[in-house]
Amino acid sequence: MQSSGHRFRDVEHHPLLADNESYDSSSSSSEADMAERVWFIRDGCGMVCAIMTWLLVVYADFVVTFVMLLPSKDFWYSVINGVLFNCLAVLALSSHLRTMLTDPGAVPKGNATKEYMDNLQLKPGEVIYKCPKCCSIKPERAHHCSICKRCIRKMDHHCPWVNNCVGEKNQRFFVLFTMYIALISAHALVLCGFQFFSCVRGQWTECSDFSPPVTVILMIFLCLEGFLFLTFTAVMFGTQIHSICNDETEIERLKSEKPTWERRLRWEGMKSVFGGQPSLLWINPFAGFRIRRLLLRGKKGGPEFSV
* Residue 57 pLDDT: 97
On whether residue 144 sits in a domain, the answer given is: no
User: What are the pLDDT digits (tens) for 201-222?
Assistant: 877 777 788 888 888 999 999 9
Domain count, the chain: 1
pLDDT of residue 291: 59
Domain-located, residue 183: yes
Domain span at 74: 44-105+157-274
Q: Considering the domain boundaries, does residue 279 fall inside one?
A: no
How confident is the model over 146-170, as pLDDT tens digits? 898 889 999 999 999 999 999 999 9
Closest CA to 11 of 136, 109, 175, 165: 136
In this prediction, residue 292 carries a pLDDT of 55
pLDDT, residue 217, reads 93
Q: In this structure, is residue 284 part of a structural domain?
A: no
In a domain, 303, yes or no: no
- Whether 203 is covered by a domain: the verdict is yes
Which pLDDT belongs to residue 302?
44
Query: Which of these is catalytic: 145, 151, 159, 165?
Result: 159
Q: Is 134 a catalytic residue?
A: no
Q: Examine residue 267 and state whether it is found in any structural domain, yes or no.
A: yes
Residue 17 placed within a domain: no
Per-residue pLDDT of the chain (307 residues; tens, 9 = 90+): 444 334 444 443 333 333 333 334 344 444 444 445 678 999 999 999 999 999 999 999 999 999 999 988 889 999 999 999 999 999 999 999 999 999 999 888 877 777 777 777 777 766 777 788 887 888 888 889 989 888 999 999 999 999 999 999 999 999 999 999 999 999 999 999 999 888 888 777 777 888 888 889 999 999 999 999 999 999 999 999 999 988 888 888 887 777 777 777 778 888 888 888 888 889 999 987 765 544 444 444 345 544 3
